[in-house]
Amino acid sequence: MSALDRKSAQKLAEALSRQHKHFDKSEVESLIQLFNVLLEEQTDRRVGTGLDRGKLRSILHKSFGMTDDMIMDRVFRAFDKDNDSYVNIREWVGGLSVFLRGTLDEKIKYCFEVYDLNGDGYISREEMFHMLKNSLIKQPTEEDPDEGIKDLVEITLKKMDHDHDSRLSFADFEKAVRDENLLLEAFGTCLPDAKVQMRDRASQHSISRNYELYTH
């Protein structure tokens, strides 16, 4: 990286660390360096773009153990705020800020966005069914596993649908999660587990150490 590049990266890191309070400047600099490494690795290297869907999915799978294709696709869309099919550097830092260190408020908004598959502002019965069908392990003894999933959807609605309109609004989801935090990831794993978050918080240099996993 040239002196000019370093200076530009430092200015960007300073701006992004002010915008995303969960990372300090040195951590953002590490994330920028990692972003550049990941960008070099991917097949599509068009100038001015960012990480493509395949690259981010690879990171989610290898470093955070995600396996659900539908959820990983939705996480990508949650990161890709401008919907251009690439995660740019600002979206990368902003997305990881919530993903790794977000407040409960931030995580509620993020998870709802992931689970609202068609983006209409509600999580419908059909969306719940598809997500739960993907995330639950089918038992070979079950004659009709879909019936069990339908029952689970009805149980979930009964617990979380506070206005009884047979779908979950953001207000329904937020109230349910605040009453019982375990419901935050009710429809599939879309956040890192507690062990990853604890490692991340161990020191300001842990991000670069943890993220070395991405490039191996």
Span between the terminal Cα atoms of the chain, in Å: 22
CA separation for the pair 68, 63 (Å, rounded): 14
CA separation for the pair 41, 58 (Å, rounded): 12
pLDDT digit string, tens, across residues 19-30 = 998 999 999 999
pLDDT digit string, tens, across residues 28-40 = 999 998 998 888 8
pLDDT of residue 172: 98
pLDDT of residue 143: 65
Which distant-in-sequence residues (6+ apart) come within 8 Å of 202 by Cβ? none
Count CB neighbours of 186 within 10 A: 22
Average pLDDT for 185-211: 62
Task: Give the pair of three-digit tokens for residue 14.
Answer: 């300073």
**49 — pLDDT class (breaks 50, 70, 90):** confident
pLDDT of residue 142: 56
| Domains of the chain (ranges, CATH numbers) | 3-103+193-215 (1.10.238), 107-185 (1.10.238.10)
Task: Give the pair of three-digit tokens for residue 202.
Answer: 């161990």
Distance of CA 5 to the CA centre of its chain: 29
Taking 90 as the threshold, does the pLDDT of residue 208 lie above it?
no
pLDDT of residue 199: 52
pLDDT of residue 2: 36
Better pLDDT: 182 or 45: 182
Average pLDDT for 187-203: 66
pLDDT of residue 196: 56
- Chain length of the chain: 216
pLDDT digit string, tens, across residues 152-173 = 999 999 999 999 999 999 999 9
DSSP string, the chain: --HHHHHHHHHHHHHHHHHSTTS-HHHHHHHHHHHHHHHHHSS---TT--B-HHHHHHHHHHHH----HHHHHHHHHHH-TT-SSSB-HHHHHHHHHHHHH--HHHHHHHHHHHH-TT-SSEE-HHHHHHHHHHHSPPPTT-S-HHHHHHHHHHHHHHHH-TT-SSSEEHHHHHHHHHH-GGGGGTTS--S--HHHHHHHHS-TTHHHHHHGGGG-
pLDDT of residue 207: 46
pLDDT digit string, tens, across residues 89-117 = 999 999 999 999 999 999 999 999 999 99
Average pLDDT for 47-65: 87
pLDDT above 90 coverage of the chain, percent? 63
Residue type, 102: G
